[in-house]
Amino acid sequence: MVQKYKIPIVVTGFEPLDLVPTPDLKLLDVAWDKINRGVMVTSRGCPYKCSFCASSLFWDRTRLHSPEYVVNEMLSIVRQYGVREILIYDD
């Protein structure tokens, strides 16, 4: 629980992060063929505790997918959707 804001936050997670299944991107309503870009997240959290950022409120530490996991997810996105760019949305 975060006492400063009096908001109960329950953190559950996978250890290691590679146990998180690859997301089913078919569930997203995205026109992959029009924008020609894929998106992915390769980590959770941030190693810094900036006062203006909410990341440290949600994640108690930084966890990274392994390089093999990231490459496999990239290959999967490219094969399934034929994208030419992949945007990585990490903190």
Closest CA to 84 of 36, 33, 31, 39: 36
Residue 22 is predicted with a pLDDT of: 78
Residue 4 is predicted with a pLDDT of: 53
Residue 29 is predicted with a pLDDT of: 64
What is the mean pLDDT of each successive set of 10 residues along the chain, which is 91 residues long?
49 71 73 74 87 83 90 90 88 81
Whole-prediction pTM value? 0.71
CA dist 44 and 91 (Å) reads 7
Residue 6 is predicted with a pLDDT of: 55
Residue 69 is predicted with a pLDDT of: 92
Beta bridge mates, 37: 85
Range list of H helices, the chain: 32-35, 55-58, 67-81
